[in-house]
């Protein structure tokens, strides 16, 4: 095993893995020797991500599913267990935005974000928890955000979901830690991903100006943190919320 392959044969489920931070994380895990389980909504995106993981020499499996549908999540986890006998890592990365100010936000916008960013994180974690506890080992990694620490204009729903994910992380780390399962969250700052495609250039320039490093983050920079947290190098990190934002909140 080379020093670079910190995740050798770790069966790793990654949600929202067809683009952005999720895809970067899938590829990083593949390069680190993991068995990568790609989950996303669209079959074509899933297939492309699986192909990229396999091109890096990894075993990879893909599922086109909605993380909001518990039956689909349970079926995926059951198939992964049947195939590989275990689940070592879950990266709860899938997320959406539906931005609007409080006075303008519709119930549909609010519900959609809570469903994907909060309820689905619960579904996925609950679906793997029994298996990880039975193994006496496992890692659950949740995607929060700097918005989940400090709030953000126009993001009532998103901020609430990402604050909520921190609540999950703190609670599960207490419940599952004694069973050998570590739970941590990553709070990215502004990262260059498709989720930012709707933001005007002027606002993007302002965002860069607020970061001491004077640039947005790259998906790979978040993926590297997930890989560290998933690895045995982070064996004493539990219940942490790791902000990866270029110092934007300093």
Here the CATH number for the domain that contains residue 221 is 3.40.50.720
CB 56 within 8 A of CB 67: no
Range 147-158 average pLDDT: 95
Total number of domains in the chain: 1
Q: Is residue 56 part of a domain?
A: yes
Residue 6 has pLDDT above 60, yes or no: yes
**Residue 199's pLDDT band (cuts 50, 70, 90):** confident
Range 70-79 average pLDDT: 98
**Residue 204's pLDDT band (cuts 50, 70, 90):** confident
Instruction: Spell 132-146 as b/e; 16+ CB within 10 A means b.
Output: bbeeeebbbbbbbbb
Predicted local confidence at residue 1, as pLDDT:
43
Write down the pTM of the prediction. 0.96
**Residue 8's pLDDT band (cuts 50, 70, 90):** very high
Residue 3 has pLDDT above 70, yes or no: no
Range 22-36 average pLDDT: 98
% pLDDT > 90, the chain: 91
Residue 195 has pLDDT above 80, yes or no: no
Q: Is residue 3 part of a domain?
A: no
Predicted local confidence at residue 4, as pLDDT:
63
Predicted local confidence at residue 164, as pLDDT:
98
Range of the domain at 135: 11-244
Q: Which residue has the higher pLDDT, 127 or 206?
A: 127
Range 146-162 average pLDDT: 96
Q: How much is the mean pLDDT over the chain?
A: 96
Q: Is residue 165 part of a domain?
A: yes
Range 73-77 average pLDDT: 98
* Catalytic residue list contains 226: no
Predicted local confidence at residue 188, as pLDDT:
97
Q: Is residue 5 part of a domain?
A: no
Predicted local confidence at residue 196, as pLDDT:
78
Predicted local confidence at residue 72, as pLDDT:
98
Q: Is residue 109 part of a domain?
A: yes
Residue 36 has pLDDT above 70, yes or no: yes
Side by side, the strands of the sheet bearing 241-244 are 60-64, 35-40, 11-15, 89-92, 138-143, 181-188, 241-244
% pLDDT > 70, the chain: 98
Residue 94 has pLDDT above 60, yes or no: yes
Q: Is residue 200 part of a domain?
A: yes
Q: Is residue 6 part of a domain?
A: no
**Which of 12-16, 67-71, 168-172, 245-249 bottoms out in mean pLDDT, i.e. has the lowest?**
245-249
Q: Please identify which of the residues 150, 158, 226, 236 carries the catalytic annotation.
A: 158
Q: Is residue 1 part of a domain?
A: no
């Amino acid at each position: 095993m080379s020093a670079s392959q910190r995740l050798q044969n770790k069966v790793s489920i990654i949600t929202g893995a067809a683009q952005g931070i999720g895809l970067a994380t899938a590829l990083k895990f593949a390069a680190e020797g993991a068995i990568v389980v790609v989950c996303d909504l669209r079959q074509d995106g899933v297939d492309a991500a699986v192909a990229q993981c396999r091109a890096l020499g990894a075993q990879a499996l893909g599922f086109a599913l909605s993380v909001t549908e518990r039956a689909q999540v349970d079926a995926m986890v059951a198939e992964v267990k049947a195939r590989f006998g275990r689940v070592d890592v879950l990266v709860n990365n899938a997320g959406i935005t539906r931005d609007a100010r409080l006075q303008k936000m519709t119930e549909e916008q609010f519900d959609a974000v809570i469903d994907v960013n909060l309820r689905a994180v619960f579904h996925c974690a609950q679906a793997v928890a029994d298996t990880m506890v039975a193994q006496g080992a496992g890692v659950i990694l949740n995607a929060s955000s700097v918005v989940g620490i400090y709030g953000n204009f126009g993001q009532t729903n998103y901020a609430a979901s990402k604050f909520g994910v921190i609540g999950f992380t703190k609670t599960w780390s207490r419940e599952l830690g004694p069973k050998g399962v570590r739970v941590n969250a990553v709070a990215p700052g502004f990262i260059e991903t498709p989720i930012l495609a709707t933001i005007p250039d002027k606002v993007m320039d302002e965002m860069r100006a607020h970061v001491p490093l004077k640039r947005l983050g790259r998906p790979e920079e978040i993926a590297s943190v997930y890989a560290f947290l998933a690895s045995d190098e982070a064996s004493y990190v539990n219940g942490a919320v790791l902000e990866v934002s270029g110092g934007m909140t300093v």
